[in-house]
Amino acid sequence: MKDTGLVKIDLIFEKIDVKELLIKAFKMSDEAIVQEVITSGLKGRGGAGFPTGLKWKFAAFEKEQEKYVVCNADEGEPGTFKDREILERVPEKVYAGMAIAGKAIGAKVGIIYLRDEYRYMLPELQSLLDEFHKSIKEIGYDFTLEYRLGSGAYICGEESALFESIEGKRGEPRNKPPFPTVNGVFGKPTVINNVETLVTALMVVKIGGAEYSKMGTPDSPGSKVFSVSGDTPNPGIYELEMGMTVQKFVDEFGDGDTKAVQVGGAAGFCVPRKRFADTIIGFEGVPTGGSMKLFNSTRSMYNVLHNYLDFFVEESCGQCTPCRVGCQQLLKGISLVKKGEIKATYLNDLSKLAETMRLASKCGLGQSVGNAFNSIVDNFREEIVY
Partner 1 sequence: MYQLGNLVQELSDKYGRDRASLMPILQCIVKKHNYLTDEAMVEVAKELDLSAAEVYGTASFYSFLDTEERGRFVIRVCRTISCSMKGKEDIMQTLEDLLKIEVGDTTADKQFTLLETNCIGWCHKAPAMLINDMPYTELTEDKVIEIIKEYMQK
The residue ranges that bind partner 1 (CB under 8 A) are 75-81, 83-84, 115-120, 148-154, 165-172, 186, 227-231, 235-237, 262, 266, 293, 299, 303-304, 307-308, 310-311, 314-315, 317
3-state secondary structure of 288: coil
Give 237's Cβ-side CA count (13 Å radius).
15
Among 79, 173, 189, 285, binds ligand SF4 (CB under 6 A): 173
- Cα distance between residue 90 and residue 78, in whole Å: 23
What part of residues 313-332 is at the interface with ligand SF4 (CB under 6 A)?
Answer: 316-320, 323-324
Beta bridge partners of 105: none
Give the whole-angstrom CA distance, residue 361 versus residue 373.
15
- Among 15-23, 43-51, 215-223, 319-327, the segment contacting ligand FMN (CB under 6 A): 43-51
Residue 47 makes contact with ligand FMN by CB under 6 A: yes
Task: Give the residue with the Cβ less far from partner 1, 110 or 230.
Answer: 230
Contacted entry of partner 1, ligand FMN, ligand SF4, none for residue 72, CB cut-off 5 to 8 Å set by kind? ligand FMN
Q: Give Dmax over CA atoms of the chain in angstroms.
A: 70
Residue 239 contact partner, candidates ligand SF4, partner 1, ligand FMN, none, CB within 5 to 8 A by sort of partner: none
Residue 178: cis peptide before it, omega within 30 degrees of 0: yes
Q: Distance between CA atoms of 27 and 280, rounded to whole angstroms?
A: 39
| List 4, 40, 165, 194, residue binding ligand FMN (CB under 6 A) | 194
Q: Which residues contact 311 (CB under 8 A, 6 or more apart)?
A: 78, 154, 266
Name which of residues 126 to 165 contact ligand FMN (CB under 6 A). 155, 157-159
Q: Does 75 bind ligand FMN (CB under 6 A)?
A: yes
Q: Min. distance of Cβ 63 from partner 1 in angstroms?
A: 24
- Amino acid of residue 355: E
Q: Least separation, in Å, of the C-beta of 50 and ligand SF4?
A: 18
Q: How many residues in the chain?
A: 386
Strand ranges in the chain using DSSP code E only, listed in sequence order: 68-73, 109-114, 144-149, 190-194, 223-230, 236-241, 258-263, 269-272, 291-296
Gap between the Cα atoms of 194 and 103, Å rounded: 17
Show the site string, 366-385: x = touches ligand SF4 by CB under 6 A, - = not. Answer: x-------------------
Q: How many C-beta atoms lie closer than 10 Å to residue 358's C-beta?
A: 18
Interface with ligand SF4 (CB under 6 A): 155, 173, 316-320, 323-324, 361-363, 365-366
Interface with ligand FMN (CB under 6 A): 44-48, 50, 72, 74-77, 155, 157-159, 192-194, 197, 363-365
